[in-house]
Amino acid sequence: MRFAAYDVRRAPRHANQVKHVPGMSEASTPEHRPLLTGRGRYLDDIRPADALHLAFVRSPWPHARIRNVDADRARRAPGVAAVVTGAELAGTVAPIRAEMEAGGSARYRATDWHPVAARTVRYVGEIVAVVAARDRYMAEDASALVDVEYEPLPVVGDAVSAIRGGATQVHEHAPDNVLFRTEWTSGKKDRFEQAPIRVRFTCRHPRVSGMPMEACGAVASYDRANGTLDFSSSTQVPHILRDGLARCLGISAGRIRVAAPNVGGGFGPKMQLFPEEVAAAALAVRLGRAVKWVQDRMEHLQAAFHSRDVTVEAEAAAEADGRIAGLRAQSLCDVGAYSSFPLGCSLDPQTAGVALPGPYRVPYYHYIGLAVATHKFPTGAYRGVGVPLGPLVTEELVSRIGRAAGLDPVEVRRRNLLRPDELPHESPGGSVYDSGDYPALLQGALGRAPYDGWREERRKARCGAGNGARRRLGIGMSCFVEATGMNRAVYRKRGMAHVPAFDSAVLRIEPGGGVEAFVSTPSQGQGHHESFRRLVGRGLGVPEESVRVVLGDTAVTPYGSGTFASRSMVSGGGAVLSAAAKMKERLCAVAAARWELDARQVRFIIRDGAGGVERTDAHATTGAGIDRMATHGPSAKGPAPALGSEGAASASAGDGSAASPRGAAGTERLEIAELAHLAHTPFLPLPAGVEPGLEVHAAYDPPGVPVSCAAHVALVEVDRLTGGARVLRYVVAEDCGPIVNVAAVDGQIRGAVAQGIGCALLESVDYDEGGQHRSATLMDYLVPAVGDVPDIDIVHMETPSPFTESGIKGMGESGIIGAPAAVVNAVLDALGVSPSGLVLPLTPERIVALAAAGRDPDPTS
């Protein structure tokens, strides 16, 4: 694979640097304009004439047999076109079912989740009937008239009671309620057992949800004459969604078009297949009319994919000098009533297990991960998936090791963090850590804080007069790694059968020279259009504004996985760069035909930022700065990966240091616009094997998994009397390799840290013991507001991954992986407590209870 020259050094490096010149800012992008002026087009802005609006009749019981559904009154209600029950749909729609190829010791049980339940409901909010009416108001009116007779059954309200002997079974084929189990061991146990220091910590991450400001929804219309389904959805994964609909409806995927309009935030929940989506598609087919479902917030809180609900119980051992001897951990993941599509319920147990060893040397590791069914709504992905459990647990264990060994929290981390000369390193969690400088990241974050200043503030707060009894400051830190843009090998190892794990790009240069890029990883606000425009613009040497980026429509964008798991820049960006490399070959072939030369006698060269093809035969001047990648094998310019080294080469060409001038126009160099014309005119004869036009397709499976890394430090204020906690200051030092768009990277970090603060202090989807859902509004489920999130200072390092051509590492999830640990760590530091177990979020009640425990010695160390 060969890649474009790309100058990483053009982007400003300082995170807080934003130029305030209208239209000139690093952060501004043309895609924002419609969104700023009220001209965006989100799902509910799609208004097909004559569409029927759906409302869902949902079970109020967490577990019940459906005795009877009487829809007669609802069917007679004004404006109602149809009411469809589970029994009526059962024959034509297959259940949602996530398959797995569980390897090794792993065990998995798939579940059948009927989009509309016919016989049994297994969570509060499960759909029992669908009403289609002229408008949403009428549909909701009628849904209240559907009479459902339930026979309530015993309920499994949490994971602990689910695995207790004699517990009620959620599914007949899972007698112990365990849907997935995995067990890994790495290294020898001896050192772990003999080590003098032993610390324990148990932490429960709450059930949370991505909570995008735009809830979910779909608009479906079916063309009976042609047998095609047009399906718009507020989705992150158009192709996976299309495959899922095809499976459930028994329609060939090629007859389904899935398009994502502007998507008002994704964060994970919008990558699962919703039963409502299947029902909407089924009704569109059945009724032959456009059907629209717009989820309201109450539905979203109840029945848009929840995440986490994971308890990790862990024990670490260390030598007297604080060096980790081993780690033993078990995760218990409450995945709700069904295994969701496409990832399945192994997601959290697998990813928590990968993450627990963190960026540390862990010579022995033993892990058991369990996914357990309960009578709650199914879980799916939310930014970070099980990975935040890694730092949450391990950072606290490391701090405790430090205290036991008499070491400062910084020193104990320094002793255990992997050094750059130890990379690549195969972690006992299964990832191969590729590159970066973990100790330098921690140092960078502490230096920016500055740590000494924070310690002084903390000391003053402890001795402060007046408020001395109440106000405490704590410092928390969190060091972590994140495997990003995971390739086919990773998903094969995980056994996840419905993730293609590659992405694709199509590049097209129009006769007039304009460039179109179609990429399989759509944007939900992350700025993909801008970033892909830069990759294409710099890769091909065309003005960025001449590049039109098209995303999120299976009718035009090529097949791929979509946007999740920090994969877009690695996998989608990799596909774009791969397509750009192919495009350069095509441009060379066209130029060679024009000059009647062999393709090896021409080269693609970017001069002054403009791409073109030059002849290199005896007739032409040769010069330095030639992009050898265009037509020949890998660069001879040294071992560094493509983005860094060739970027420099391209920059030198751009600086005018290359020898060959543009001279003798038309004879020695052809610009892209000229080549675009030549490729599309019938007057240029092309040799056999050279296709006319300029359109290339590249499917890309990242050759390795780039692992980004970061260190977070937080200064948190705690009021011991009221239990209030406030994050005062926050620093992130991160390394995601060469940065394509620093404004986008900073935006991702800040938004994700805010969500991580939410996980630590505010957010929780609650069910009572009887399985009743209690988080029905945004006054129950607390999303961080502007007063809950401080300014976040960011330090960048850029170490290219040696595993991919571009060296880019993903980073979309990074902020939420590190933040819960840093904040929790800081709260415990402020209170001077080391509880054996902790349940998040740290609400005021919990903090008051922790404060009451006072300065107890750590009972576990």
Residues 134-153 that bind another protein (CB under 8 A): 137
> In this chain, which stretch among 147-155, 371-379, 521-529, 710-718 interacts with another protein, using CB under 8 A?
521-529
Q: Omega before 841 cis (within 30°)?
A: yes
Q: Which of 624, 785, 849, 853 binds another protein (CB under 8 A)?
A: 785
Number of H helices, E strands in the chain: 22, 30
Q: What is the C-alpha to C-alpha distance for residues 640 and 835, in angstroms, rounded to an integer?
A: 47
In this structure, how many other beta carbons lie within 10 angstroms of the beta carbon of residue 802?
A: 16
Could you tell me the smallest distance in angstroms from the CB atom of residue 268 to another protein? 12
Give the residue with the Cβ less far from another protein, 511 or 790: 790
Give the residue with the Cβ less far from another protein, 77 or 89: 77
Residues 298-337 that bind another protein (CB under 8 A): 298
Query: What DSSP designation does 193 have?
Result: H
Give the residue with the Cβ less far from another protein, 192 or 730: 730
Residues 266-295 that bind another protein (CB under 8 A): 266-267
Give the residue with the Cβ less far from another protein, 37 or 226: 37
Q: What is the C-alpha to C-alpha distance for residues 257 and 567, in angstroms, rounded to an integer?
A: 23
Q: Is 698 in the site for another protein (CB under 8 A)?
A: no
CB within 8 Å of 480: residues ≥ 6 apart: 355, 358, 359, 387, 390, 391, 709, 710, 711, 817, 818, 821
Q: What are phi and psi of 476, to 5 degrees?
A: -120, 150
Q: Which of 264, 268, 336, 812 binds another protein (CB under 8 A)?
A: 264
Instruction: Retrieve residue 852's tokens.
Output: 């009451």
Q: What is the C-alpha to C-alpha distance for residues 836 and 827, in angstroms, rounded to an integer?
A: 15
Could you tell me the smallest distance in angstroms from the CB atom of residue 727 to another protein? 11
Q: Which of 310, 446, 760, 792 binds another protein (CB under 8 A)?
A: 792
Q: Is 479 exposed, middle or buried (0-12, 13-18, 19+ CB in 10 A)?
A: buried
Could you tell me the smallest distance in angstroms from the CB atom of residue 236 to another protein? 11
Q: Is 48 exposed, middle or buried (0-12, 13-18, 19+ CB in 10 A)?
A: middle
> In this chain, which stretch among 113-121, 523-531, 647-655, 795-803 interacts with another protein, using CB under 8 A?
523-531
Contact 570, 484 (CB under 8 A): yes
Query: What DSSP designation does 511 have?
Result: T
Q: Which of 779, 845, 855, 857 binds another protein (CB under 8 A)?
A: 779
Residues 44-73 that bind another protein (CB under 8 A): 44-45, 47
Specify which residues 232 forms β-bridges with. Answer: 219, 259
Could you tell me the smallest distance in angstroms from the CB atom of residue 418 to another protein? 29
Residues 750-769 that bind another protein (CB under 8 A): 750-755
Give the residue with the Cβ less far from another protein, 244 or 264: 264
Site string (73-102) toward another protein, x via CB under 8 A? -----x------------------------
CA dihedral 658, 659, 661, 664 (to 10 degrees): -140
Give the residue with the Cβ less far from another protein, 298 or 410: 298
Give the residue with the Cβ less far from another protein, 572 or 751: 751
The CA distances from residue 418 to 341, 359, 422, 473, in Å, are: 36, 6, 6, 29
Query: What DSSP designation does 255 have?
Result: G
Give the residue with the Cβ less far from another protein, 264 or 359: 264
The span from the first CA to the last CA of the chain, in angstroms, equals 52
Q: Which of 186, 524, 554, 775 binds another protein (CB under 8 A)?
A: 524
Site string (197-216) toward another protein, x via CB under 8 A? -------------xxxxxx-
Q: Which of 82, 100, 263, 599 binds another protein (CB under 8 A)?
A: 263
Give the residue with the Cβ less far from another protein, 466 or 787: 787
Could you tell me the smallest distance in angstroms from the CB atom of residue 773 to another protein? 16
Nearest Cα residue to 541 out of 604, 585, 599: 604
Contact 343, 381 (CB under 8 A): yes
Q: Which residue has the tokens 């004004």?
A: 78
Instruction: Retrieve residue 107's tokens.
Output: 């065990």
Contact 274, 234 (CB under 8 A): no
Residues 546-605 that bind another protein (CB under 8 A): none
Contact 494, 429 (CB under 8 A): no
> In this chain, which stretch among 85-93, 256-264, 575-583, 624-632 interacts with another protein, using CB under 8 A?
256-264
Q: Which residue has the tokens 């990003």?
A: 484
> In this chain, which stretch among 200-208, 413-421, 692-700, 781-789 interacts with another protein, using CB under 8 A?
781-789
Could you tell me the smallest distance in angstroms from the CB atom of residue 231 to another protein? 20
Q: Report the side by side order of strands in the sheet with 120-121.
A: 120-121, 64-70, 147-152
The CA distances from residue 845 to 588, 618, 765, 851, in Å, are: 68, 81, 17, 10
Q: What is the C-alpha to C-alpha distance for residues 576 and 4, in angstroms, rounded to an integer?
A: 10
Could you tell me the smallest distance in angstroms from the CB atom of residue 230 to another protein? 20
Q: Which of 769, 787, 845, 857 binds another protein (CB under 8 A)?
A: 787
Q: Which residue has the tokens 């255990």?
A: 416
Q: Is 743 in the site for another protein (CB under 8 A)?
A: yes
Could you tell me the smallest distance in angstroms from the CB atom of residue 40 to another protein? 5
> In this chain, which stretch among 154-162, 181-189, 258-266, 545-553 interacts with another protein, using CB under 8 A?
258-266
Count of chain residues binding another protein (CB under 8 A): 66
Instruction: Retrieve residue 812's tokens.
Output: 């979309």
Instruction: Retrieve residue 40's tokens.
Output: 């965006």
Give the residue with the Cβ less far from another protein, 226 or 777: 777
Site string (646-685) toward another protein, x via CB under 8 A? ----------------------------------------
The DSSP-derived string for 753-772 is HHHHHHHHHT----B-TTS-
Residues 153-172 that bind another protein (CB under 8 A): none
Give the residue with the Cβ less far from another protein, 182 or 295: 295
Could you tell me the smallest distance in angstroms from the CB atom of residue 737 to another protein? 21
Could you tell me the smallest distance in angstroms from the CB atom of residue 42 to another protein? 7
Site string (1-40) toward another protein, x via CB under 8 A? -----------------xxxxxxxxxxxx--xx-xxxxxx
> In this chain, which stretch among 57-65, 116-124, 520-528, 851-859 interacts with another protein, using CB under 8 A?
520-528
Contact 409, 372 (CB under 8 A): no
Contact 279, 115 (CB under 8 A): yes
> In this chain, which stretch among 162-170, 389-397, 785-793, 836-844 interacts with another protein, using CB under 8 A?
785-793
Q: What is the largest CA-CA distance in the chain?
A: 88
CB within 8 Å of 665: residues ≥ 6 apart: none
Q: What is the C-alpha to C-alpha distance for residues 597 and 594, in angstroms, rounded to an integer?
A: 8
Could you tell me the smallest distance in angstroms from the CB atom of residue 368 to another protein? 34
Residues 461-480 that bind another protein (CB under 8 A): none
Contact 717, 830 (CB under 8 A): yes
Residues 380-439 that bind another protein (CB under 8 A): none
What is the contact surface with another protein in residues (CB under 8 A)?
A: 18-29, 32-33, 35-42, 44-45, 47, 78, 137, 210-215, 262-267, 296-298, 524-527, 743-744, 746-747, 750-755, 777-779, 783, 785-787, 789, 791-792
